[in-house]
Each structure stands twice: as structure tokens, then as C-alpha cells.
């Protein structure tokens, strides 16, 4: 299983359980997978897109938490 695929599965898992630990791990794996691709590799666009989706999800969740909405497990 590739790192990017594992990151996607963790992101899916986050969407089910809403545990930020899973989303943060998905982000770390997405970044690592992207860093391992040579510049111009055909999978780079897909990896960047997946990373952008995870970052967008984390931004929205952290914004909601700061506004007092949506308390999530994994946030101290």
C-alpha cells in the first residue's frame, strides 16, 4: 500500500470518527508521500490534491472548534 493510499484511508477514517489524530496522521503521510515523488512525476498532481483536501478539512474543523462548535476527540 502506498503512503498516499494510507493517507486517504486515514482521512476516510477521520471522516467517520472525527478524531483529529487520524487527520493529522493523514496530513503527515500525504506530505511524506509528496516529498518522495520526483519533480514532475505524474502522481504529483493527485498527491497535491489529496494534501489540499486534508488541509482544507483540518482548517474547517479547527475553525469550528475555535468558534465553540463541534468538540472532537483528540483535541486537548
**pLDDT tens-digit profile of 4-54?**
899 999 999 999 998 889 999 999 999 999 999 999 999 999 999 999 999
Q: How many domains does the chain contain in total?
A: 1
Q: Is residue 35 part of a domain?
A: yes
Q: What is the pLDDT of residue 76?
A: 46
Query: What does residue 14 show for φ and ψ, rounded to 5 degrees?
Result: -60, -45
Task: Give the N- to C-terminal CA distance of the chain in Å, as an integer.
Answer: 31
Q: Closest Cα partner for 26 from 55, 69, 46?
A: 55
Q: Are 3 and 29 in contact (CB under 8 A)?
A: yes
Q: What is the pLDDT of residue 70?
A: 61
Q: Is residue 34 part of a domain?
A: yes
Please give the residue range of the domain that contains residue 26: 3-66
Q: Is residue 76 part of a domain?
A: no
Q: What is the pLDDT of residue 45?
A: 94
Q: Is residue 72 part of a domain?
A: no
Q: Is residue 71 part of a domain?
A: no
Q: What is the pLDDT of residue 71?
A: 55
Amino acid at each position: 500500500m502506498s503512503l498516499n493510499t494510507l493517507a486517504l484511508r486515514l482521512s476516510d477514517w477521520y471522516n467517520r470518527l472525527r478524531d483529529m489524530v487520524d487527520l493529522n496522521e493523514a496530513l503527515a503521510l500525504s506530505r511524506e508521500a509528496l516529498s518522495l515523488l520526483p519533480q514532475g512525476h505524474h502522481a504529483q498532481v493527485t498527491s497535491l490534491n489529496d494534501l489540499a483536501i486534508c488541509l482544507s478539512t483540518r482548517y474547517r474543523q479547527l475553525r469550528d472548534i475555535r468558534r465553540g462548535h463541534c468538540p472532537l476527540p483528540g483535541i486537548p
